[in-house]
Structure 1
């Protein structure tokens, strides 16, 4: 049995969930509205302030999507009530970030500045010029944009320069030894 798929999702106060036919779920909360179509094989039931997801059979495909569906639905409920955020830090001499309207401008040691347009539904803060905070209600979008920022200059193992998540550990190497 799926341990995650069988967990009940508690809907907090101020969040409304609507399950339409064909498992089309709409979640509304203080941060906004998210909607997604889930597989029709599963049974999504809303009873009071609890959401339960059950599967009609034990076929391999049904078992696979059971836990995934529950996790996606839980992230939708959490996203519209609390939201998600990823924090990145920039390390390196001359590396910095700044906001210019709807653009995130990164100076990462290239001959040009890297300009990223901030996707709709996300907000980006730059409290210091070496810290970036990406936040929003869609967990996948927040993680994807943070990964795109990090991709421009991954942390390297010798000096540790680059863009990294705040809680990320970068294994350091010794480098060349002197004669």
Structure 2
């Protein structure tokens, strides 16, 4: 049995769950999320918890069991607490600015990189070099942080670029002179 899938998802106070067929809507203090669940999984919503069961012990059903439970748990956590990814910008003259829903990055190119934030995502900037991508959808927060990082990935010689706050860059030795 899936170790993740068999755990119940606890519904905190202030969260409403509605299930229409295989479409689940989770509403909480931070907003509302909708997810289309796989039709083979059976979701039972009780007063204080959600249980996910699978029809058989096949490999596909076992994988879907854990996935479905994790998706539901991420929705519940997102509408109550939210998700946050921290990024750091390293390099001389590299900085970030935000105005409304537009993030402007100066990353050593001849032009500034302009990125329009998706709906439901906000960015907080601290000291022009520390970014925090914040939202209620874990998938959208992660993909937005990855997109921002992709504009200038950290390079291994000087460590310049955009990296996750908890990421460690393996440094290489440069050329040696004679």
TM-score scaled by structure 1? 0.97
The 2-side partners of 1:19 and 1:128 are apart by: 44
Gaps of at least 5 residues in structure 1 are: none
The 2-side partners of 1:3 and 1:59 are apart by: 15
Q: Is 1:14 matched up with 2:35?
A: no
Q: Given that residues 83 and 138 in structure 2 are in contact (C-alpha distance below 8 angstroms), is that contact kept between their aligned partners in structure 1?
A: yes
Instruction: List aligned pairs for 1:158-177, cutoff 5 A.
Output: 158-177=157-176
The 1-side partners of 2:49 and 2:99 are apart by: 43
- Which piece of structure 1 moves more, 165-174 or 55-64? 55-64
The 2-side partners of 1:66 and 1:45 are apart by: 13
Instruction: Give the structure 1 partner of residue 117 of structure 2.
Output: 118
Q: Given that residues 86 and 130 in structure 2 are in contact (C-alpha distance below 8 angstroms), is that contact kept between their aligned partners in structure 1?
A: yes
The 1-side partners of 2:117 and 2:126 are apart by: 16
Instruction: Give the structure 2 partner of residue 2 of structure 1.
Output: 2
TM-score scaled by structure 2? 0.97
Q: CA deviation at 1:127?
A: 1.9
Instruction: List aligned pairs for 1:147-166, cutoff 5 A.
Output: 147-166=146-165
Q: Secondary structure at the match of 2:126?
A: coil
The 1-side partners of 2:88 and 2:59 are apart by: 41
Instruction: Give the structure 1 partner of residue 177 of structure 2.
Output: 178
- Paired residues in the alignment total 178
Q: CA deviation at 1:151?
A: 0.3
Instruction: List aligned pairs for 1:131-146, cutoff 5 A.
Output: 131-146=130-145
Gaps of at least 5 residues in structure 2 are: none
Q: Is 1:28 matched up with 2:27?
A: yes
Q: CA deviation at 1:37?
A: 1.4
Instruction: Give the structure 2 partner of residue 42 of structure 1.
Output: 41
Q: Is 1:51 matched up with 2:47?
A: no
Q: Secondary structure at the match of 2:86?
A: strand
The 2-side partners of 1:140 and 1:36 are apart by: 12
Q: Is 1:70 matched up with 2:69?
A: yes
Q: Given that residues 101 and 122 in structure 2 are in contact (C-alpha distance below 8 angstroms), is that contact kept between their aligned partners in structure 1?
A: no
Q: CA deviation at 1:178?
A: 2.5
The 2-side partners of 1:32 and 1:111 are apart by: 39
Q: CA deviation at 1:63?
A: 1.5
